[in-house]
Amino acid sequence: MTRYQHLACLLSERIEQGLYRSGERLPSVRTLSLEHGVSISTVQQAYHLLEEKQLIVPQPRSGYFVAPRKAAPPMPALTRPVQRPVEVTQWGSVLDLLSSRISGDVLQLGSGIPNLAQPTLKPLWKIQSRMAQKQDANLLSYDSLLGVAALREQIARLAIDSGCQLTPDDIVITTGCHEALSASLRAVCEPGDIIAVESPSFHGTMQTLRGLGIRAIEIPTDSVSGISLEALELAFEQWPIKAVLVVPNCNNPLGFIMPEPRKRALLALVQRFDAAIIEDDVYGELAWDYPRPITIKSLDMDGRVLLCSSFSKTLAPGLRVGWVAPGRYYDRVLHMKYINTGSTATLPQHAVADFIRQGHYLPHLRRMRQLYQRNYETFSCWVRHYFPCGICVSRPQGGFLMWIELPEAFDAVRLNNELRESQIQVAVGSLFSASGKYRNCLRLNYGLPVNPQTEQAIAKLGAAVERAMLACHAAVKTETILPE
Amino acid sequence: MTRYQHLACLLSERIEQGLYRSGERLPSVRTLSLEHGVSISTVQQAYHLLEEKQLIVPQPRSGYFVAPRKAAPPMPALTRPVQRPVEVTQWGSVLDLLSSRISGDVLQLGSGIPNLAQPTLKPLWKIQSRMAQKQDANLLSYDSLLGVAALREQIARLAIDSGCQLTPDDIVITTGCHEALSASLRAVCEPGDIIAVESPSFHGTMQTLRGLGIRAIEIPTDSVSGISLEALELAFEQWPIKAVLVVPNCNNPLGFIMPEPRKRALLALVQRFDAAIIEDDVYGELAWDYPRPITIKSLDMDGRVLLCSSFSKTLAPGLRVGWVAPGRYYDRVLHMKYINTGSTATLPQHAVADFIRQGHYLPHLRRMRQLYQRNYETFSCWVRHYFPCGICVSRPQGGFLMWIELPEAFDAVRLNNELRESQIQVAVGSLFSASGKYRNCLRLNYGLPVNPQTEQAIAKLGAAVERAMLACHAAVKTETILPE
């Protein structure tokens, strides 16, 4: 990105954030030049660029003004999924996504992998190395089925930040959040049962529903306030829903944090219909604001919330260390965890416990939150710069995932096929729906390193999106002309 | 154990192995004294001990002779489980077994944990430590859903020894054999389906059946030749059996290796009824004879065998590195593995791959086989010495597990309760049956270190068994007297 492009990005960011409102006059060229320490011509180029993008309009002798409607790419509207329980499909596409995950040369713009190149992770390596040097045979053996006690203690301590009063005995360690979720689902449901989910919803969970023969009813979800309680209530009235599965904090993929009153209302609603809540909090510690948002579990008085989480997004997914606080479903979850994998690997549990106990975890979290927040700004600049108009972009409040909605006729699956040549892949929106909706959406990971390679990939992606959108328009036109 | 007790053990071992046959004259006191470099009185004491145990009889002026019938504790007879599909119970007892696993002070005589204190494991620690020192971020990330390619290559190479032609692409890495089995079961069965299992059968698998709502039909199993093909055929004729789950090599808990012709016959039978075989080979590399026994998978031409294994028994269970070669069920197994846990932990996979590639695995296996075989001799001496008469003991051909059958009226669950005070626990036989049979049996782990502490534990166990058996007899007597 050149200097003037960067300035243009900054300005459009400010416009989006409402610092410059629609119709407002922008600072003069000279003011900006002084403010940013750049030449007059750089500012002029930046303003020209924004003008080209129809974000600002020049008015003779008065300077530049924010364009009336083009100020910010809007956020995705409330989703409108199918209003009945369906069996989950899309396994083939998920497999595609996963298969390309490590074919080395492919840049995964859509993965759910955190940034793993931070110095605050170094103590984790040191701890593991020291453990290996000690050659303690206990670390090679099974530990408790519940998980290493020292780790459960640390998790209980950390849970206080989310408003939860947990004891180590309330917690079962799992092989990643994945196992926490699958054991919870199995604990609560039988095959054929119905689960309500946010729409869009994490593809891993969706595939677990599919594998367990559980049907999903997708509930309209707002990219600011989360699952629609009104729609959920209607669904409860119509269908025998066993549980609601939500990611209320730094939602995957929409990035919202459900406001606390809505969390309370959701719990009350679920209580009224005597169902369970499976709460996936795996991104909760990555919320940008401090203190971190509370979990629904923290409001739960009768043990109907199964809180699932892991260190996969905050530390490292390769450790496969997750956990669940299953409330009243404790016994069944423990049984399901046992039949899945037996005990969880021993050494990584001790490593994570020591990492937290030695005080490395909170500083690491702080660093990651700041990194992701900064990255988000850069990535959204890039998206605005390289993507065509007419898109909606989510505004996450934490985590490292961004959801982009393209016009209805757009096909992200076809886009991914085209991108294969350029060694780029995104996460296709249809993975996030039981019924293959959201083919016009895609998920980006802005936790990726901010460097020319990533920028180039976003540029290529933007160009491909633009080409595809033009092709769409052409096709739509042809269709409207041809039929009669 | 004193010197004379040790000699007595050796002699009874020889008697059992048929070196001295029933009615045959034993070596003179002088000969034995010279042969073993012990005093005359030590030999005399040993002979007295064997005489007390009614293993030998003295004949005036002729020396000692092997007693007509008491030569060896017999092996367990063909088992007689319930002849219809049942739902698996016993989760409570399994949980008890698992909970006491790490309550530090309790000596687990019945666990399935290998001996982890061998020097041939040292390179594994070094490899892990070196990996941690390198700080390669890839090791913190997810690897392929299929598992680390380098590890799959090594497994394919090792599989040649069991007669299998596998490519790395035939293999899916799992979180222990536990996940391999549960993903296989899920790939082949729906809830409500029927699976045929050996009886007795590994409790982990049984609990997986329970958790998945699969019914088990327990097939009579012989402690030498394995599952009864005749009974299995009958079962196939009566019930819609989806798959047969067997541990044909170094069976858990009976220790047999199914003879090759019977393996062929089993496969042919299963083919005839178009079912699948889930083959658990987790102890197969620990067979005492070289070359190791073949797997049924190696005979399989149409992909109906799902071969499950892991490094939990040969290397270390705490690594949680297992694998499955699912044949024609590959796609479904992969899906089930994904919904269970996502990818398997990355670093341990690389560590195991390097351990094998650097040539440490086969020497380690050799050492472990020798260790377990030697241990078995010592443990069976101890059992013969400290246990009362009237028991049956399995004669394993590999692995580190021994099955002891006590008289029908015996209650091993009650025994375990009594042993709790002495900080000893055994694996109760009823865990190994869907319907809670084999309460009169127990499983011992002879991979435990041979030291005075272990010997003392076996002695305490033997004494407790003896007390319980006497109580049984008394109760039986009382019952026979009281009713009328």
Q: Is the pLDDT of residue A225 over 90?
A: yes
Does the beta-carbon distance from A179 to B126 stay under 8 Å?
no
Does the beta-carbon distance from B137 to A117 stay under 8 Å?
yes
The ipTM assigned to this model is 0.84
Q: How many Cβ atoms are within 10 Å of B193's Cβ, its own excluded?
A: 18
Q: Please name the helix (run of DSSP H) or strand (run of DSSP E) that holds residue A346, with its range, or none.
A: helix A346-357
Do residues B9 and B55 make contact, with C-beta atoms less than 8 angstroms apart?
no
Please give the share of chain B, as a percent, with pLDDT higher than 90.
Answer: 66
Q: Is the pLDDT of residue A442 over 90?
A: yes
Evaluate the omega torsion of the peptide bond into residue A123 and state whether it is cis, within 30 degrees of 0.
no
Q: Please name the helix (run of DSSP H) or strand (run of DSSP E) that holds residue B197, with its range, or none.
A: strand B194-199
For residue B403, the cross-strand partners are: B443
Q: Is the pLDDT of residue A70 over 50?
A: no
DSSP H helices in A74-148: 91-99, 122-134
Evaluate the omega torsion of the peptide bond into residue B253 and state whether it is cis, within 30 degrees of 0.
yes
Q: How many Cβ atoms are within 10 Å of A265's Cβ, its own excluded?
A: 15
Average pLDDT over residues B86-109: 74
Task: Spell out where B328-465 has E strands.
Answer: 392-393, 401-405, 424-425, 427-428, 441-445
The model's confidence at residue A2, banded by pLDDT at 50, 70 and 90, is: confident
How far is Cα A369 from Cα A290, in angstroms, rounded to an integer? 10
Does the beta-carbon distance from A125 to B117 stay under 8 Å?
no
Average pLDDT of every residue of chain B: 91
Does the beta-carbon distance from A340 to B335 stay under 8 Å?
no
The model's confidence at residue B102, banded by pLDDT at 50, 70 and 90, is: low
How far is Cα A174 from Cα A146, in angstroms, rounded to an integer? 8
Lowest mean pLDDT of A14-28, A208-222, A446-460, B279-293, name the range. Answer: A14-28
The model's confidence at residue A103, banded by pLDDT at 50, 70 and 90, is: low
Could you report the per-residue pLDDT of A243-255, keeping only the tens digit for each? 999 999 999 999 9
Does the beta-carbon distance from B145 to A95 stay under 8 Å?
yes
pLDDT of residue B70: 45
Nearest to A62 by CA among A19, A25, A29, A33: A25
- Copy the structure tokens of residue B155: 């497994």
Q: Is the pLDDT of residue A441 over 80?
A: yes
The model's confidence at residue B96, banded by pLDDT at 50, 70 and 90, is: confident
Q: How many Cβ atoms are within 10 Å of B348's Cβ, its own excluded?
A: 31
Q: Is the pLDDT of residue A205 over 80?
A: yes
Could you report the per-residue pLDDT of B326-366, keeping only the tens digit for each? 999 999 999 999 999 999 999 999 999 999 999 999 999 99
Q: Is the pLDDT of residue A31 over 80?
A: yes
Does the beta-carbon distance from A121 to B142 stay under 8 Å?
no
Could you report the per-residue pLDDT of B418-460, keeping only the tens digit for each? 898 888 989 999 999 988 899 999 999 999 999 999 999 999 9
Average pLDDT over residues A31-43: 91
In chain A, the residue whose alpha carbon lies closest to the alpha carbon of B118 is A137
Q: Is the pLDDT of residue A187 over 50?
A: yes
Does the beta-carbon distance from A126 to B132 stay under 8 Å?
yes
How far is Cα B150 from Cα B162, in angstroms, rounded to an integer? 20
Average pLDDT over residues A229-237: 96
Please give the share of chain A, as a percent, with pLDDT higher than 70.
Answer: 96
Average pLDDT over residues A393-422: 92
Average pLDDT of every residue of chain A: 91
How far is Cα B173 from Cα A401, in angstroms, rounded to an integer? 28
Could you report the per-residue pLDDT of A345-357, keeping only the tens digit for each? 999 999 999 999 9
Could you report the per-residue pLDDT of B183-233, keeping only the tens digit for each? 999 999 998 999 999 999 998 888 899 888 899 999 999 999 999 999 999
Does the beta-carbon distance from B320 to A175 stay under 8 Å?
yes
Does the beta-carbon distance from B179 to A320 stay under 8 Å?
no
Nearest to B150 by CA among B365, B314, B358, B310: B358
- B139 contacts in chain A (CB < 8 Å): 318
Q: Is A244 helix (H, G, I), strand (E, B) or coil?
A: strand
Does the beta-carbon distance from B132 to A128 stay under 8 Å?
yes
Do residues B201 and B220 make contact, with C-beta atoms less than 8 angstroms apart?
no
Q: How wide is the angle at C-alpha B285 spanned by C-alphas B279 and B288, nearest 5°?
A: 120
pLDDT of residue B63: 87
Average pLDDT over residues A434-443: 91
Does the beta-carbon distance from A207 to B128 stay under 8 Å?
no
Does the beta-carbon distance from B208 to A339 stay under 8 Å?
yes
Q: Is B411 helix (H, G, I), strand (E, B) or coil?
A: coil
In chain B, the residue whose alpha carbon lies closest to the alpha carbon of A177 is B341
- For B:158-217, CB contacts with A below 8 A are 175-176, 178-179, 182, 186, 190-191, 204, 207-208, 210-213
pLDDT of residue B328: 97
Q: Nearest CA to CA, how far is B470 from chain A (Å)? A: 36
Q: Is the pLDDT of residue B156 over 90?
A: yes
Average pLDDT over residues B3-16: 85
Nearest to B200 by CA among B480, B412, B462: B412
Q: Give residue A113's region: left, alpha or beta (phi > 0; psi -120 to 50).
A: beta
How far is Cα A63 from Cα A71, in angstroms, rounded to an integer? 17
Q: Is the pLDDT of residue A233 over 80?
A: yes
In chain A, the residue whose alpha carbon lies closest to the alpha carbon of B175 is A341
Q: Give this prediction's pTM.
A: 0.86
Tell whether A99 is within 8 A of chain B (Cβ).
yes
How far is Cα A419 from Cα A391, in angstroms, rounded to an integer? 19
- A345 contacts in chain B (CB < 8 Å): 175, 318-320, 345, 348
Q: Is the pLDDT of residue A92 over 90?
A: no
pLDDT of residue B476: 61
CA distances from B24 to A93, B18, B46 (A): 73, 10, 17
pLDDT of residue A58: 86
- For A:416-475, CB contacts with B below 8 A are none
Could you report the per-residue pLDDT of B133-149, keeping only the tens digit for each? 999 999 999 899 999 99
Widest distance between CA atoms in chain A: 79
**A interface mutation test: which of B188, B210, B320, B350 has the most A CBs within 10 A?**
B320
Does the beta-carbon distance from A208 to B135 stay under 8 Å?
no
pLDDT of residue A100: 60
Average pLDDT over residues B13-42: 85
pLDDT of residue B483: 44
Establish, for the pair of chains A and B, how many residue pairs have beta carbons separated by less than 8 Å.
Answer: 197
pLDDT of residue B58: 86
**B interface mutation test: which of A105, A320, A344, A448 has the most B CBs within 10 A?**
A320
Tell whether B298 is within 8 A of chain A (Cβ).
no
Most confident of A412-416, B287-291, B310-314: B310-314
- A400 contacts in chain B (CB < 8 Å): none
- A143 contacts in chain B (CB < 8 Å): 102, 318
Q: Which one-letter DSSP state was computed for residue A429?
A: G
Could you report the per-residue pLDDT of A452-468, keeping only the tens digit for each? 999 999 999 999 999 98
Does the beta-carbon distance from A338 to B117 stay under 8 Å?
no
Evaluate the omega torsion of the peptide bond into residue A452 and state whether it is cis, within 30 degrees of 0.
no
Does the beta-carbon distance from A342 to B212 stay under 8 Å?
no
Q: Nearest CA to CA, how far is A410 from chain B (Å)? A: 28
Radius of gyration of chain B (CA): 24
Tell whether A362 is within 8 A of chain B (Cβ).
no
- Copy the structure tokens of residue B187: 């790939």
- A212 contacts in chain B (CB < 8 Å): 339
Handedness of CA A330, A331, A335, A338 (dihedral sign): positive
The model's confidence at residue A272, banded by pLDDT at 50, 70 and 90, is: very high
